[in-house]
Amino acid sequence: MGHYEKSAIHRLSETSKDMEIWWDSSPLVFENWAENEIEKADQSQKELVRKRLKILFDKDQPQDTLFDGVTTNPRLTRKVLDLIPEQTDPIVDQLIKDNPQLSDYELAWEVYKAITEKGAKLFMPSFEKSNFKKGYVSAQVDPRLVTDVREMLRQALVLKKISPNIMVKCPGSREGIYVIELLTSVGVPTNATLVFDIPQVVQVAKAVKRGYERGQQWGVDYSQWRSVITIMIGRFEARKAYAESAKEAGIELTEALQRWTGVAIAKKAHQILNNPDYGYYSKLLLCSSRVGPKPDEVIHIEKVAGGNMVYTINPEMVSDFMGICDQKDICKQMDQPVPEAVMEKLLKIPYFVQGYEQDGMKIQEFIDHPAFQYTVKEFSGSMNEIEEYVQKRKKAVKQ
pLDDT for the residue numbered 324 = 97
% the chain with pLDDT above 70? 99
pLDDT exceeds cutoff 60 at 1: no
pLDDT digits (tens, 9 = 90+) for 151-207: 999 999 999 999 999 999 999 999 999 999 999 999 999 999 999 999 999 999 999
pLDDT for the residue numbered 73 = 85
8-state DSSP, 338: P
- Please state the domain count of the chain: 1
pLDDT digits (tens, 9 = 90+) for 307-350: 999 999 999 999 999 999 999 999 999 999 999 999 999 999 99
Residue 3 lies in a domain: no
Q: Cβ(189)–Cβ(161) under 8 Å?
A: no
Query: Which position has the higher pLDDT, 151 or 397?
Result: 151
pLDDT for the residue numbered 398 = 84
pLDDT exceeds cutoff 80 at 399: no
pLDDT for the residue numbered 162 = 97
Q: How far apart are CA 282 and CA 325, in angstroms?
A: 29
pLDDT digits (tens, 9 = 90+) for 87-122: 999 999 999 999 999 999 999 999 999 999 999 999
Residue 13 lies in a domain: yes
pLDDT band at 75 (very low <50, low <70, confident <90, very high): confident
CATH of the domain at 39: 3.20.20.70
Residue 1 lies in a domain: no
Beta strand pairing status for 283-287 and 227-232? parallel
Beta strand pairing status for 136-140 and 166-171? parallel
pLDDT band at 3 (very low <50, low <70, confident <90, very high): confident
pTM of the model: 0.96
pLDDT band at 2 (very low <50, low <70, confident <90, very high): low
Residue 2 lies in a domain: no
Helix, strand, coil distribution of the chain in percent, nearest 5: 55, 10, 35
- Region 224-245: mean pLDDT is 97
Residue 177 lies in a domain: yes
Q: How far apart are CA 117 and CA 335, in angstroms?
A: 37
Residue 242 lies in a domain: yes
Q: Cβ(285)–Cβ(309) under 8 Å?
A: yes
Domain that holds residue 62: 8-398
Q: How far apart are CA 160 and CA 117, in angstroms?
A: 10
